[in-house]
Amino acid sequence: MDLIIGSHVGYNKNDGLLGSVKEALTYNSNTFMFYTGAPQNTFRLPIDKNITEEAKALMKENNIDINNVIIHAPYIINLANRANMDFSVDFLKKEIRRSEELGISKIVLHPGSHVGLGVEIGLQNIIDGLNMVIESDMKPIICLETMAGKGSELGKTFEEIKTIIDGVKLNNKLMVCLDTCHMNDAGYDMSKFDEVLEEFDRIIGIERIGCVHINDSKNPINSHKDRHENIGFGTIGFDTLSNIIYNPKLKDVPKILETPYIDKEYPPYKHEIKMIRDNIFNSNLLDEVREDYR
């Protein structure tokens, strides 16, 4: 099976999308995900058309289908909280324009945190926000990410995501991004993925899955923590993650690693992607990464 797999990569001001493609290629990825600027602030530089064209040519040369490439919206956007609504709506609209300029067709978005307003009001705010943001002629699809339920995060259950989708008028512009660490931490038993997927299909519909974030978790099921671990080194484990990655029903869905750097310094993605392609757990992986970058 031809996996569509990559990782989170950087995006810097000098070489923009071209730098992201080059980084992805060093990991032998055939897709990738990036923020269009620092996720914690709103500073964004104009996009250089020539660099973007160069990036697209390099993708083509290396069989990276741009339709599988993902933008992650910055996490300062919180549609669930009325107080920041104007800012969030405005910034998300700009992010959509930037995605269109770059030719990227999927944007992953954290639904939001209700910060004390309660689940029902929070969900309604997200619906209202998305109805303000989404226009019928916009090109990218927004993929709502399944969340761990840390603090007052919404989107921790399939039911909450379904409520949002049902409330959005132009919901043909919405898909879902499954995050394996978040789902584990939210209480889904990933070792029974067939059942989890069936539940998703029953509540939301499997055709809505637009992206999968592949992460192990540092914490046990239902812990509501959201701390990612390297593949096979956490509580979900290699076999369960492999089973998800190779699920034939998710064959055409891009898989993105967001696992932590080793010693906060060395990107693990080249080694993790090789391990996933070999489909055998490598217990020496962390040391091999360290040696490779030393």
| CB-nearer residue toward Fe ion: 23 or 179 | 179
Cα–Cα separations (whole angstroms), residue 226 to 6, 25, 137, 265, 272: 20, 28, 35, 20, 20
State the nearest-atom distance from the C-beta of 248 to Zn ion, in Å: 26
State the nearest-atom distance from the C-beta of 148 to Zn ion, in Å: 6
Options 106, 213, 270, 271; binder of Fe ion; rule CB under 5 A: 213
State the nearest-atom distance from the C-beta of 137 to Fe ion, in Å: 26
Listed in sequence order, the DSSP H helices in the chain are 16-26, 49-61, 85-102, 119-133, 158-167, 180-186, 193-203, 238-245, 269-278, 285-293
Interaction of residue 272 with Fe ion, rule CB under 5 A: no
Output phi, psi for 232, to 5 deg.
Answer: 90, -5
CA–CA distance, 161 with 183 (Å, rounded to integer)? 13
Interaction of residue 179 with Fe ion, rule CB under 5 A: yes
Site map for Fe ion, 125-164, x if CB under 5 A?
A: --------------------x-------------------
Segment interacting with Fe ion, rule: CB under 5 A, options 123-131, 147-155, 213-221, 269-277:
213-221
Q: Which amino acid is at 125?
A: N
Beta bridge partners of 174: 142
| CB-nearer residue toward Zn ion: 226 or 272 | 226
Site map for Zn ion, 221-260, x if CB under 5 A?
A: -----x----------------------------------
Q: Which amino acid is at 33?
A: M
| CB-nearer residue toward Zn ion: 216 or 226 | 226
Interaction of residue 106 with Fe ion, rule CB under 5 A: no
Segment interacting with Fe ion, rule: CB under 5 A, options 15-23, 40-48, 209-217, 279-287:
209-217
Nearest one of 293, 199, 204, 209 to 249, comparing CA atoms:
209
State the nearest-atom distance from the C-beta of 145 to Fe ion, in Å: 5
Cα–Cα separations (whole angstroms), residue 183 to 257, 272, 294: 15, 20, 34
CA–CA distance, 286 with 263 (Å, rounded to integer)? 9
Site for Fe ion in 24-83 (CB under 5 A): none
| CB-nearer residue toward Fe ion: 25 or 257 | 257
Beta bridge partners of 145: 177
State the nearest-atom distance from the C-beta of 1 to Fe ion, in Å: 23
| CB-nearer residue toward Fe ion: 70 or 123 | 70
Query: Which H, E and C letters describe 238-254, residue by residue?
Result: HHHHHHHHCCHHHCCCC
Residues that bind Zn ion (CB under 5 A): 226
Residues that bind Fe ion (CB under 5 A): 145, 179, 213
